[in-house]
Structure 1
């Protein structure tokens, strides 16, 4: 097999030659070209199967003769550039290159793509990736009756990278492995769907461990592998089951094997903070109680219980909203660095693949916010409305709570606090307090069988008749009727 290196730098060409000989790749002859003319002559005379092309040399190709020669001769092209610019990536795509490598060249990557090119030359009809032929699996991923049967002696599994942007790289790397001919790989947007004819599950697991180990060693990143270890079903069924198994990564992390037969049952998880949890966070942040906050957050990542990832993400955003109000109370929204960290954490909660990493960052952010609050207190930076909201969250069940009590606590006049509530929240203090009490009352009506009078006193209404009047004004039905209605819905 013949390879042509087209590069203006003699040292680069010599180094690549030495590397190819040192690793004994399936290449018998290596040619070099340092100019456009030499490259065109070699292409026409020797017809090399594999070409390494420095893109910058094309700038010297005024007549575009080299491009024409490249378009005429069949070959596998690997492009190289000293500048990772978008225009160079476009050029590589237009030339239908296998990849674009950036100088200084990562020799592991070079080896992978050279190995892949060699195998494509040696096995030009090998069905490694079928997009259009009749037995392509892609339609079968989404259509149950797609005519792509899977034999019983074929194992189906799925590989996921720690960094989804490495998915294409992972696909080519898998094809360069010594035992890759025993597998068929199908790249998806974020994962690789795989089929193997291993004799038994133990053989597949052994190869899977080798894949994990070598990928981590060569790319300083991790993989997860999900295996369909039940009797084979339709490709769509197995595909969906494997995706679901890989979602366990959210609580388990990477470098894991997940087996479809061992999928846990997800426990119910309340998306939003309870009244008691809100109070815990208000007091914890105010008192700089790092330990309480750590315990609360780390309990969410308890590996003995599995929850739906989306439910946990919503729960964490609910907690972050509580932290946000604490930030506003001490006017931290004016601090650019704190705001940046808040935005990064919010994005992490929504998108990061591993819960434990999110929790660690959440703890660090809370510590930073609490330290900033100490500084803000010392300099008299305080938002009265958010301070009032925190106080109401803690003491709304106290029937003696009124505007004067709250104003005295904040050290301002009742009339000033009333004005702040009306302009900031759009409601009066009394309306906001009753809304808070009614929210808790609804929870108790749904979840307990407590008498109406006890619910009224528990939520801060010292008169059950007044409670019923406020409730009916808000929901158009009485508390008793609401409870009966909810019972019928549940039954």
Structure 2
């Protein structure tokens, strides 16, 4: 029986998911937990095949215990979250979830994800049974992929075959089963690739792989990539070959499919900071505020589509892209676009960033989505923002410019400066200069906490002409000079 565990702090949500699964999948056994301690205990006693859990249910104290337990028991994971942010995406990636679903939960999306994982597991079980007799001769089995046994090391060569669309793997496996290589091989079908293990011999495996790829292309339009790992030593375990092929296949994120990847190109990932720098955030504010699609395209191309070996680790690139998506989200909220069809497209793009197999597909979809936003704003810009909001938006997106004035804000809002001044006093109880300085100080305080750049540089990037004036305004608003503020906040965070 297929066992599913639901873990959510909200009892109403938990009961709703339980009812949905039980009513839709009668043969499934579904149980629940409502806190982290209950979740760990339930994992150990119930040992589910699938865990559907709220991401924020796992705090820092229980994270290690949760990770260790899931690694031992090995359920597939579907995470739920209210926040479409890069930090939540990173947590989900680190935990190894199969899917990340945003709340409020769509019954169709949840069921589709759970059924897909269930079908995949059934397929793996069937193929494991079908090929058991083949593997038994050499004592190869699925356990060898996940448990390192040094005494089982032997001269091996391994081949990974990955389909651009994982749903095509069953067809690819059928084709592979009827295919004849020069040497007897053993197959492992996994969730996103097929692993082939063979004893080392004088077979030219690159030529064999090229022949297989050509034959496959004659029967299917589905793109595949093939990795070949012979190892640095004379012997190796099945697990070492599995991990090496998985790492080789990650390069397809940058290079694409329809190619052979050999172990000579085993990637050594380049270390990068995945988050936007303050300067990059300012550039993005400019891009979005000015609806400069061409500048955005150039930035994307230079930043992501000219990468070469050594590549950044793909997970870091995905986090960097969600950091950009956060800037886009802020722009959407400014123009009150975070609902309806626009919200659906945003959530779809978030999933694309997390799971798309190719970087250029992600970039193309991001550019298309931004273009859609620009067109929507352009078609109805005056109605999207009230007068006060337009002025505040102007301040938020131009605070970094030392030349910002009330006159420029009035020109942007298409009103008289005196009228703007009077309107701000009435609606906000503050002058234009006070609102501008508050925005600048809020941004500078963020930089003082989150970065190590000098106070002089912070003053400059936040729109102040000199550090002395910055110190004066900061002290007036925060009650202390910026250097003291930084020290206190750093001590607090420690």
Give me the TM-score of the superposition, normalised by structure 1. 0.60
Provide the rounded CA distance (Å) in 1 between the counterparts of 2:271 and 2:476. 33
* 1:399/1:462 contact within 8 Å kept: no
Provide the rounded CA distance (Å) in 2 between the counterparts of 1:324 and 1:97. 39
1:272 maps to which of 266, 270, 275 = 275
* 2:471/2:482 contact within 8 Å kept: no
User: Which residue does 2:321 correspond to in 1?
Assistant: 316
* 1:225/1:256 contact within 8 Å kept: yes
Pair 414,235 (structure 1): closer, same or farther in 2 beyond 3 Å: farther
1:245 aligned to 2:281? no
Pair 434,286 (structure 1): closer, same or farther in 2 beyond 3 Å: closer
Pair 216,408 (structure 1): closer, same or farther in 2 beyond 3 Å: same
Pair 434,455 (structure 1): closer, same or farther in 2 beyond 3 Å: closer
Give me the TM-score of the superposition, normalised by structure 2. 0.60
User: Which residue does 1:261 correspond to in 2?
Assistant: 264
Structure 1 spans left out of the alignment, 5+ residues: 1-85, 101-112, 114-119, 423-427
Provide the rounded CA distance (Å) in 1 between the counterparts of 2:316 and 2:400. 29
1:292 aligned to 2:295? yes
User: Which residue does 1:22 correspond to in 2?
Assistant: none
Map 1:408-423 to 2 at 5 A. 409-410=412-413, 411=415, 413=420
User: Which residue does 1:106 correspond to in 2?
Assistant: none
The alignment of Structure 1 onto Structure 2 pairs a total of residues equal to: 358
* 1:185/1:194 contact within 8 Å kept: yes
TM-align CA RMSD: 4.4
What CA deviation, in whole Å up to 9, does each residue of 1:161-186 have, x standing for no partner? 11112223322221101327622111
Pair 484,364 (structure 1): closer, same or farther in 2 beyond 3 Å: closer
Pair 324,218 (structure 1): closer, same or farther in 2 beyond 3 Å: same
1:346 aligned to 2:347? no
1:142 maps to which of 124, 141, 146 = 146
* 2:474/2:480 contact within 8 Å kept: no
Matched residue SS, 1:344? helix
* 1:198/1:204 contact within 8 Å kept: no
Provide the rounded CA distance (Å) in 2 between the counterparts of 1:263 and 1:435. 45
1:288 CA drift (Å): 3.4
- Which of the pair has more CA radius of gyration? 1
Provide the rounded CA distance (Å) in 2 between the counterparts of 1:348 and 1:464. 42
Provide the rounded CA distance (Å) in 2 between the counterparts of 1:386 and 1:258. 53
2:360 maps to which of 344, 356, 360 = 356
What CA deviation, in whole Å up to 9, does each residue of 1:328-364 have, x standing for no partner? 3333345x44333323222211111111111112222
Matched residue SS, 1:446? coil
Pair 476,375 (structure 1): closer, same or farther in 2 beyond 3 Å: closer
What CA deviation, in whole Å up to 9, does each residue of 1:96-155 have, x standing for no partner? 99999xxxxxxxxxxxx9xxxxxx9xxxx994345xx992332222222265x3432x31
Query: Using CA pairs below 8 Å that are at least 6 residues apart, which structure has the higher relative contact order?
Result: 2
Matched residue SS, 2:331? helix
1:193 maps to which of 175, 188, 195 = 195
Pair 295,476 (structure 1): closer, same or farther in 2 beyond 3 Å: closer
2:472 maps to which of 466, 475, 480 = 466
1:292 CA drift (Å): 0.8
1:208 CA drift (Å): 0.8
Provide the rounded CA distance (Å) in 2 between the counterparts of 1:269 and 1:384. 42
Matched residue SS, 2:134? coil
Structure 2 spans left out of the alignment, 5+ residues: 1-111, 430-434
1:419 CA drift (Å): 8.6
1:438 aligned to 2:445? yes
Provide the rounded CA distance (Å) in 2 between the counterparts of 1:346 and 1:296. 20
Provide the rounded CA distance (Å) in 2 between the counterparts of 1:143 and 1:385. 62
